[in-house]
Structure 1
Amino acid sequence: MNRTESGLFTRARESTRRVTESDSNTRDGKDQRAIADSEDNNDNAESDRSSSSACSSLEAAVDSSSGPAPLSRVVGSFIAPPPSKEHMDWHTLRSLLYLLRFGSVASPHRDPTVLAALDQTQKAVLALLEEWWTGQAHDKILPKMKQYTFFHALESAADESTFDFHLETLESLACEGDLPFLHEAARIYRLSLSSGEDDPSRYMEYVERIPQDMRESAEDQYHGNMGTLYSCELDPLEQTSYQKSFREVAADVSARERIARHALTHVNSGRMENPSSGAMLEKSRLKDFSQPIPTILDPCHWLASNEAVGFPWYLWDIELGCTVRTTEIPSENIRYSIVSHTWGRLRDGEAMESVCGVPWRVPKITRYDVKLLPQMIKDAGFSEPYIWMDLLCIPQEMSVDWQLAICKAELPRQLAIFRNASTAVVWLNDVASWKSTEGAIVWMGLRYLGDDPTGPARYTGLYDLDTGCDIAAPNASSPCGLVKADIIEDAEDTEQEQVPSAWFTSLWTLQEILIRPDMVLLDKNWQPLAIGNTLLITLDSLVSLAGELSATEDAPIGAESLLSMFHDRHLSLLRIESRLVPLVLGANRVSTCPRAPAIMSAMGATNWFRGRTLQQFQSPEEADLLVLGCYPLDFVNEVLDLSGAAFFSCTTTTATLVMDDDTGTKPAPGYPLQGTMLPFMPIPANLYQGVLEPGDAQVDDIDHSSVSSWRIHLDGSVTLPTVAIIASNSIELQSSCQLKCLIQCNDPENITSLHTVWGVLPLYDWIRRFGGDAHAICTRLSEEHIVGIIIHRWANSNSYVKAGGFSYGWPDTFGGPDEENKIVPELLTVLDVNWHVL
């Protein structure tokens, strides 16, 4: 996404231009400035009412929108708005300082009233701004940016009395570290009012340096995005419909910057040791670290807030060492952490064991002794008094009626259980140590900083980044702890294959990471993954960093294995905002239990499950009653109802013309085609492993009415009674239009290709290149956007296969502002066809 320039940087140019244009007046000193102030006051008096009205109208528009509430709305409940838009820069900075003083959990002046006014996402956004504003001692860009921000806030004063008021207000809110910047800004401002011994030309020299300094900030990836976030969150005049996107980008960039900054500091401290020199520094426990800032700010945003109400039935009391009913704990005292882990494949048959403090027996696990869990949890050092862990908090004996009933009630409530937890951790009981993983992350952080054009210049007085990578590499000289080597033997050769930790292949844990992507990783000894003893590494921050890097020849084994694992498991899709991600990523994940309950909470598709009786819940699923052998039809239909036409719009990098379950060979023309209209499809192991991705859709898109008639069958095929066609090679349409669309589709002239073709191409010409019948069908559209699928069949076939998808955006994306390219209903030919699509 291209970052738009924020008001912070735009006004830097305006300030310089204003002063430069009035250069002669300013150099005349105080008298000329007084005249200008007088004119400003007159203008302000006339514009106060209209400006306040404009600000009120803007805030009302934001209030009525469906977008996230900006921080300025919270501030508006505690401090008065500025008298006019001319004072907006002062008000914006005052708002930030107010929230940092009274709304930050780390501030000694924090006010419970202000804290209560912030929702979870706003708290995370404020934490991002606080991290940026307080900064890093070696960051050379931040001091210049803060200096300018304070200066511009004071410069908006039209007279000395207003200036004094603005200065006193900021002084009362600023932390001690900000006061030098504030006072220097005040000194520079006073130069413009001075005569005699203080030369106003020094003021001009400072102002003329602003464009260069602020250009450096705006071009810097981290400071540029944070400056944009600052403006759109706290300046009512800068609020935009892209606010959610600005938040996401800022959080993403901040996560990578945070890891890189700590990696650089860690290397500079000399704490990285050669593997042969002995053990790493002793690690801290969980409660010794600051709570991490999430990278994905609003996970599973498609789920209604009322679905996340309430607490679990049971929690584990760490101090007492027993399972307790949450109804027996005052709600204000319920603070718990989630412990995610995988154990279904580790069961010792049907054996069960008693654990002290747990009112039911739990499955016996082969990898560890479940009877030792209470002490392990106590030694881990959680900062919360309670934890939730399924073995200890969900009854496990399905032959006991009361336990069965509670288990059935809790499974569709995983959203509430996970979202209402204070923190979440992953216990990877097959990871022996974090040594190589930490070394790999340090190396990756330094490499990321080196790849950032402004990264090396941002931090001064620290190691050269290449030197830092060389220092970090020895600690990443073995595969990272998240992967392990399996020995593969055949008749001709023996080799090692790196496979991920079992947690990354479990279907149940996929749902958990989607709801709580901010999980901290723990090894088998409950030690957290961290850089040194300063920064906890969360899963979402690791996904962000890995998504920006690729394995290079100079990458140490640890970094290479970590990057390969994240890319092979397609974990970057966790950053895609789609209800369909669990189905897409879940296709190749393992579950020893029925698959639908493992992901239904993250999709909001739980009605089918709640409607089942205890007997149905207890009975094993019959494979021939599951769609593609995976999910119950009523579950799939509920997901379809929730997702709409987007359900059919996933794209894939695997060409659907080559699916041969029996031989895996490349078929000749005329071979019965195979593919999928669904967002999931088991792919034969001997064929190219592509990945489905949720299709492109815009906020204003609506489903075409014809899609509501489409019906899914147990074999995964779909019947299309009615379709809206926009291009065809065999049907004469009522209207034709040559749209250049973004197409991801099988190559119609190379059906043996394993990969799809991706590019901006003329849709009608592309459809005509197919042999047999091919059609482009609309699934979603708006006045300026259309999304659809391409289906194809051979001349002698009764069934179609989905060959790909297309999207078109008018006028910005592909076409240009030609009226004839604007999407109107007349461009679509709606037909009753009753087609069958595999």
Structure 2
Amino acid sequence: MYPRYARDKQLWSENEYFNEPAKDDIAREIWKLVDKNSPDPRYLWDVKSKKTIRVHQRHPEYVCISHTWGRWTVKLPSHVSIPGVPWKVLENTLYNVRDLPNMLLKLKYDFIWLDLFCLPQDDSPEHRAEVANQTAIFHRAKKCIAWLNDVETWDGTEAAMDYLGMKYLRTSATDPELAVSDKRVKSSISAAADHCLELMKENDEPSSWFLSLWTLQEAALCPDLQLCTRSMELLLDKTGTPISLSTLIAILSLLRTPNRSQMAEFPSDPLFDIVPECVSKPFLLGKMTKLEWLLEHLSPMDIMVASNTRTCKRSRAVAIMNALGVLDWYKTESEGGNLGTGGKEEKLVLDTFPIEFVREVARKYGTVFYTAVESVNSYRVKTHEGLWGFPDVHIGSMMPFSETHGWYTSVMNAVTVPAIQKKDHEAVASWHINENRSVRIRSAGIISCSSDSANKSPIKSFVATMEGGERLTIVQNKSAHADLHASLRELAGDKMVFYAVVLQEDYGQKSGILLQAPRTRIPKPRKRWLIKTGFFNTLESSPPTLCTAVNWCVA
């Protein structure tokens, strides 16, 4: 048994975000991802007969294939007919679609779900219904396989796994029979040093499968998916056991953070101090793609934050909506015939997601939607009319995504606070997201303000603010038990006002965000502009924070 930090698809039921909450446990309803009444896939590929079949009643066991091709379609769209497929298929420059029927024979499964052969390649109602049913299709599959069609062999990856396995055994095994000899370690290092890691290209760009936003969703739905090469060769260990994506990420996580006893026993080891390049690259892969964090936690907002690193030719919201369980906006648009996977999306927030999709995510997940961290420069502040009086560089965003996408996106994972009984503050449900990605706030749970009287009872808390520049940094207050009121007064100085706004409560302890505004009196009824500039957690119980009527617009 390999260590498994990432959840497999059978363990989604343990994820708090996708279970019905106990009565009065949290302020908003969180639904399960898969509705028991959701339909089975309408089409499957019969591997032996080499044809697409219609699933009428109970579906046979099938395997899902995750792959990417949309960004490589030929410039002059060319549709070809594949024998056995009831619709034409787009050609791409990654591989010859005509070869797929014979290539799929190598996987030795009777039935396969592959989008090109099982998803009508148009924007018909049938196509849109299947796109909205991706969660059920992937969850009900016997297995999921990631087809990395730009990877030719597993030589370097297998050598790297040998090395990582040796190191894991050497630092964790207690059975003398599992002791790793120097000879075996040297042999493993030598073998690894002679290869390049196929999962990473020469320019440190990951394999194209890791670039796609659609495959991010599929990895979240099936984190235990197996990996195969262009020629359909699975990544296996020496016993013939498939090494899944979750296994790979789990081993990287274990070796990245050894426990204290391991560090004390092996403070320095020449055999492992010199790390082959193909062994160091998997750590870079996990960090760049955010998969190490994502597959360990599998929280919905982590999926949305990770989407900033991925590329999508069009319809970014459609590519991840199933992983979030956010489908109402799509079904409404689809019924009107205005939106398919290739449809035109209007009113995009930050040129990324449709406004109705963003609002539905916020309604469904409540306060966690507003906890992501992003660095913001002065250009963004200037886009808001009336937002003035701030320094040149500003930090914060109420959105868990940005208008720039890529491996070095400025958006960081949402702040997670361990809790036993999370409860959203009632005011957050009334917050309204504007099309310009600002948030209109009429009511807020203000637990502290820098302009409050200095005689207020202290609140022990952890406070962190975000500072800008070329890179985002988080600056913690000097004492984890500092008074929240005093911390805000210190941050505000003479020119600013800081508010600590409660998002969640956990048995009397509060967590939330810091909002910053210029110390300028604005005559009513003009709204006041603020920016998010940090977050806080109180470290002791206090009475519920009441709602305060405000007239804010937060950038």
TM-score range, shorter chain: 0.7 to 0.9
Name 1:469's counterpart in structure 2.
Answer: 185
Structure that is richer in strand per residue: 2
- 1:710·1:720 contact (CA, 8 Å) conserved in 2? yes
After superposition, the C-alpha distances for 1:477-513 in whole angstroms (9 at most, x for unaligned) are 233111112xxxxxxxxxxx21001111111111111
Does the alignment pair 1:724 with 2:430? no
Q: Aligned match of 2:542 in 817, 823, 827? A: 823
Question: How many Å apart are 1:374 and its aligned residue?
Answer: 0.6
Distance 1:444 1:297, change over 3 A: farther
Contact 2:33–2:324 under 8 Å retained in 1? no
Match of 2:70 in 1: 344
- Seen in structure 2, the aligned counterparts of structure 1 residues 461 and 519 have a Cα distance that, compared at 3 Å, is closer
In 2: Cα distance, 1:670 partner to 1:648 partner: 23
CA distance, structure 2, for counterparts of residue 335 and residue 753 of structure 1:
49
Q: In percent, how many aligned pairs have the same letter?
A: 26
- Counting only pairs closer than 5 Å after superposition, residues 670-709 of structure 1 correspond to structure 2 as 670-671=391-392, 673=394, 675-683=396-404, 689=410, 691-696=412-417, 698-709=419-430
Q: Provide closer, same or farther for how the CA distance between residues 687 and 294 of structure 1 changes in structure 2, counting only shifts above 3 A.
A: closer
Distance 1:833 1:420, change over 3 A: same
Q: Which residue identity lines up with residue 558 of structure 1 in the other structure?
A: C
Counterpart-to-counterpart distance in 2, 1:441 and 1:433 = 14
Give the whole-Å Cα distance in 2 for the aligned partners of 1:676 and 1:412: 29
Decide which of 152, 155, 160 is 1:435's aligned counterpart. 155
Structure ID, larger Rg: 1
Q: 1:617 aligned to 335, 339, 359, which one?
A: 339
Does the 8 Å contact 2:420/2:506 carry over to 1? no
Q: Is the 8 A contact 1:503 1:509 kept in 2?
A: yes
1:555 match: secondary structure: coil
Are 1:783 and 1:822, in contact at CA under 8 Å, matched by a contact in 2?
Answer: yes
Distance 1:532 1:758 in 2: 47
Contact between 2:515 and 2:534, CA under 8 Å: does it hold in 1?
A: yes
Which amino acid is the alignment partner of residue 824 of structure 1? Answer: P
Asked whether the equivalents of residues 415 and 602 of structure 1 are also in contact (C-alpha less than 8 Å), the reply is yes
One-letter amino acid of the counterpart of residue 339, structure 1: I
Deviation at 1:520, TM superposition (A): 0.2
Letter in 1 for 2:121: Q
Provide Cα deviations, 1:578-603, integer angstroms capped at 9, x if missing partner: 22122110012111121111111111
Kindly indicate whether residue 234 of structure 2 is the aligned counterpart of residue 528 of structure 1: yes
CA contact (8 A) 2:396 2:466 kept: no
- Is residue 12 of structure 2 the alignment partner of residue 299 of structure 1? yes
**In 2, Cα distance between equivalents of 1:806 and 1:314:** 50
Q: Return the match for 1:381 from 77, 101, 108.
A: 108
Shift of 1:758: 4.1
The gaps in structure 1 that reach 5 residues or longer are 1-130, 132-252, 257-292, 399-403, 486-496, 809-814, 816-820
- TM-superposed CA distance for 1:770, in Å, is 1.7
Deviation at 1:714, TM superposition (A): 1.5
Work out whether 1:626 is the aligned partner of 2:348: yes
- Cα deviations by residue, 1:793-831 (Å, 9 ceiling, x for unpaired): 2335952111122223xxxxxx4xxxxx32212xx3532
Distance in 2 (alpha carbons) for counterparts of 1:779 and 1:519: 35
Q: Which amino acid aligns with 2:143?
A: T
Q: Which amino acid aligns with 2:286?
A: F
Distance in 2 separating the partners of 1:343 and 1:686: 19
Q: Which structure's relative contact order is higher, taking Cα pairs within 8 Å and 6+ residues apart?
A: 2
Report the equivalent of 2:514: 790
User: Equivalent of 2:301, from 569, 580, 587?
Assistant: 580
State how 1:72-83 maps to structure 2 within 5 Å. none
Number of aligned residue pairs: give it: 503
Amino acid of the structure 1 residue aligned with 2:133: R
Match of 1:406? 126
**Cα deviation per residue 1:282-334 (whole Å; 9 max; x = unaligned)?**
xxxxxxxxxxx96565237412442574310100011111000011xx62x61
Aligned Cα root-mean-square deviation (Å): 3.0
Structure 1 Cα separation of the partners of residues 336 and 367 of structure 2: 33
SS at match of 1:365: coil
Letter in 1 for 2:116: L
1:593 corresponds to 2:314: yes
- After superposing the two structures, state which structure 1 stretch, 418-427 or 547-556, moved more: 547-556
Report the 3-state secondary structure (helix = DSSP H, G, I; strand = E; otherwise coil) of the residue aligned with 1:306: coil
Given the superposition, is the C-alpha separation of residues 713 and 394 from structure 1 closer, same or farther in structure 2, using an over 3 Å criterion?
Answer: same
Cα distance change of structure 1 residues 373 and 470 upon mapping to structure 2, 3 Å threshold: same
Contact residue 362 and residue 397 of structure 1 kept, 8 A: no
Alignment match, 1:746: 466
Work out whether residues 479 and 562 of structure 1, in 8 Å CA contact, stay in contact via their aligned partners in 2. no
Work out whether 1:310 is the aligned partner of 2:9: no
Superposed CA deviations along residues 26-81 of structure 1, whole A, max 9, x for unmatched, are xxxxxxxxxxxxxxxxxxxxxxxxxxxxxxxxxxxxxxxxxxxxxxxxxxxxxxxx
Distance 1:751 1:380 in 2: 50
Specify which of 495, 509, 531 is matched with residue 215 of structure 2: 509
Cα distance in structure 1, aligned partners of 2:470 and 2:152: 44
Corresponding position: 1:481 with 2:198: yes
Residue 167 of structure 2: aligned partner: 447
Please tell me the residue identity of whatever aligns with 1:588.
T
User: What residue number does 1:393 align with?
Assistant: 118
1:386 Cα deviation from its structure 2 partner: 0.5
CA distance, structure 2, for counterparts of residue 687 and residue 521 of structure 1: 25
Residue number in structure 2 paired with 1:542: 248
Shift of 1:567: 1.3
Identify if the C-alpha distance between structure 1 residues 693 and 458 changes in structure 2 by more than 3 Å, giving closer, same or farther: farther
Partner of 1:483, secondary structure, is: coil
Structure 2: which amino acid aligns with 1:832? Answer: A
Would you say the 8 A contact 1:728–1:767 is kept in 2?
yes
Q: In 1, distance between residues paired with 2:460 and 2:360?
A: 34
CA distance in structure 1 between the partners assigned to 2:470 and 2:129 by the alignment: 49
Aligned to 1:35: none
TM superposition shift of 1:769: 1.9
**Partner SS, residue 326 of structure 2:** coil
Q: Which residue in 1 is equivalent to 2:531?
A: 801
Secondary structure in 2 matching 1:481: coil
In the alignment, which of 307, 314, 325 is matched to residue 54 of structure 2?
Answer: 325
One-letter amino acid matched to 1:523: T
Cα drift, residue 688 of structure 1:
7.5
Paired residue for 2:60? 334
Q: Residue deviations 1:397-452, cap 9 Å, x none?
A: 34xxxxx1211111110110000000110000001111001111121122223333
Structure 2 residue identity aligned to 1:621: K
- Tell me the CA shift for residue 705 of structure 1: 1.1
User: Structure 1: how far apart are the matches of 2:179 and 2:486?
Assistant: 57
Check 1:451–1:761 CA distance in 2 against 1; reply closer, same or farther (3 A cut).
farther
Inter-partner Cα distance in structure 2 for 1:308 and 1:473: 52
Map 1:493-504 → 2, pairs under 5 A? 497-504=203-210
TM-score normalised according to structure 2 size: 0.83
Provide the residue aligned with 2:432 in structure 1: 711
SS in 2 for 1:587: helix
Partners of 2:169 and 2:178 within 8 A in 1: no
Q: Which amino acid aligns with 1:646?
A: V
Structure 1 residues 527 and 788, CA, compared in 2 at 3 Å: closer, same or farther? same
Q: Secondary structure at the match of 1:392?
A: helix
Q: What is the distance in 2 between the residues matched to 1:687 and 1:579? A: 21
Measure the CA separation in 1 of the matches of 2:409 and 2:343. 32
Aligned 8 A contact 2:170 2:179 in 1 = no
